[in-house]
Amino acid sequence: MNATTISPTFPLETEKKRTSLWAWVTQAMRSQSAWLTIVLMSAAVLGIGWLDYITGFQVTLLVFYGVPIFLAVWWAGNKPGLLIAVFSGVVWWLANMSSTRQSTQGYAWNLANRLFYQCALVFAVSALRNKHQTDAARIQMLEERRQLEKDIVSVSEHEQQRIGQDLHDGICQQLAAIGCAVRVLAEDLQAQGIPAAQDATMIEGSLQQVVIEARNLAHGIFPVHVDRSGLAAALAGLGKMTSRLTGTTIVVDDCADLPLDTPEVSMHLYRIAQEAVANAVKHSGATEIRISMQLSDHGLELRVEDNGRGISATDSMRGEGMGLRTMHYRAQALEARLAIEQRPQGGTLVNCRMPLKQNPQEEPS
C-alpha cells in the first residue's frame, strides 16, 4: 500500500500560476523606469476616455479609471499614481464636456469629487503596497532564518557523521590493534612464566570493552543503516545499544521498511527517536521504553513512550532544552506534527506524525 496525500486541485494550481504571473509582471515593471509605467497607464486612460466619450455623461466609467491609477501606484509609487489620477480627471473632463447637462460650477464640483476619490485611491493603494513589501521582507527574513537553521542542523549532522566515521575507522581500529599487541604480549609473558601475564590479560579485556563502547558510540553518532530503506533496522539498533549501555528495557516493534523520499527524512526521524529515548532514560526514571512506527493512509506515525514519571504540560509547551527544540525543528523540517504529552497510564508519549507524499506516477494499490 502506498501512502498518499491529497494532491493540489486544478483550481489551486491555476491560482498559483496566476499569482506567479502577477508577481513576475510586477517585478518586471518595478525594475523598469517609472516613465514606462506612466506612458502605458496614460495610454490606458486615453482609451478609457475614448469609451467615456462614446457612451456619454450618463454612463460612468469611474471604476475603469481606477485601474490604471492602481497599477501606476503598485508598479511605480505615489507620484506616478497622483500624476495618472490628475490626468484621468482631465481626460474625463474633456470626454464628457460636450454631453453633460450640468452647469460649469456643477461640472467642476463633480470633477473635484472625482479627483478626491482618485487621490484617496492612490494613498490607499500606496498603503497596501507598503504593507505588501513589509510582509514580503518579513517572509524573506523568516525563510532566510529557516534556511540558516536548516544549514546549521545540516552542518551539525555532517560533523557528527565525520566524527562517527573517524571514531569508527580511526580510534576503534587503533584500539583494536593495541589490543592485539597486548594479547601477543600476554601470550609471551605466559610462555615465559612471568606473573605480569595476568595483568596484560586484564588490560586486553579492558581494551576490548573500550573498543565495543567506542564502536557503539560511533554507531550512535553516525547510524550507517539510516537510509531510504533502513530506518526500522536503525531504530532496532538504537534500542539494543541503549538497552545494553543503560540497562533500561527498550522494545522496538517490528516495522516494515518505509518508502521515504530521502535519507535526510530517515535521519530526522531517527534523531527524534534518539532524543526521545535519551530524555526518557535521563529524566523520567523509566524502566521500559517502547518505539513503534505505524503506516496508514494518513501518513507515518513515530511513537516513543515510556512508563516513567511523565512530563508536565508546562514543560512540554516550554521546550527550554536544546534537545526538545531540536526535535521540534526536525519535525518542522519534515512538515510533521510533534506532540509530547503524558500518557493516561503514566509516563510520556512522544508522537511524530508525518504526511507521506505519493509519487504522482504511482497509483495507490
pLDDT digits (tens, 9 = 90+) for 106-149: 888 988 998 999 999 999 999 999 998 899 889 888 888 877 77
Q: Is 304 helix (H, G, I), strand (E, B) or coil?
A: strand
CA distance 129 to 214: 60
Domain boundaries defined on the chain: 16-149, 224-365
Q: Reply yes or no on whether the pLDDT at 216 is more than 70.
A: no
pLDDT score of 305: 92
CA distance 132 to 119: 20
pLDDT score of 297: 72
CB 271 within 8 A of CB 223: no
pLDDT score of 1: 38
Question: What would the mean pLDDT of 23-38 be, rounded to a whole number?
Answer: 90
Closest CA to 219 of 255, 257, 256, 245: 245
CA distance 223 to 319: 26
Question: What would the mean pLDDT of 251-269 be, rounded to a whole number?
Answer: 73
CA distance 64 to 44: 10
Tell whether the torsion through CA atoms of 209, 213, 218 and 220 is positive or negative: positive
Q: Reply yes or no on whether the pLDDT at 2 is more than 50.
A: no
CA distance 286 to 61: 76
Closest CA to 54 of 98, 10, 23: 98
Instruction: Show Cβ contacts of residue 294 under 8 Å, excluding neighbours closer than 6 positions.
Output: 255, 300, 301, 303
Let me know if 288 is exposed, middle or buried by CB neighbors in 10 A (0-12, 13-18, 19+): middle
Question: What would the mean pLDDT of 298-310 be, rounded to a whole number?
Answer: 87
- CA 103 to chain CA mean position, Å: 64
Match 532566510 to its residue by C-alpha cell. Answer: 144
- CA 355 to chain CA mean position, Å: 13
Question: How far is the first Cα of the chain from the last one, in angstroms, to the nearest whole number?
Answer: 5
pLDDT score of 357: 65
Name residue 179's beta-bridge partners. Answer: none
pLDDT score of 316: 53
pLDDT score of 74: 93
pLDDT score of 6: 36
pLDDT digits (tens, 9 = 90+) for 37-60: 999 999 999 999 999 888 887 788
pLDDT score of 7: 39
CA distance 319 to 321: 6
Report the chain's mean pLDDT, rounded to a whole number: 80
Looking at the structure, give the CATH architecture of the domain made up of residues 224-365: 2-Layer Sandwich (3.30)
Any alpha helices (H) in the chain, and if so which ranges?
Answer: 10-30, 34-55, 62-76, 78-96, 104-166, 172-191, 197-221, 231-246, 263-279, 313-318, 322-333
- CA 87 to chain CA mean position, Å: 48
pLDDT score of 244: 81
pLDDT score of 313: 56
Tell whether the torsion through CA atoms of 55, 57, 58 and 60 is positive or negative: positive
pLDDT digits (tens, 9 = 90+) for 246-258: 888 999 886 656 6
pLDDT score of 71: 94
pLDDT digits (tens, 9 = 90+) for 140-151: 888 888 777 777
User: How far from 273 is each of 63, 217, 226, 238, 362, CA to CA, in Å?
Assistant: 60, 16, 12, 9, 30
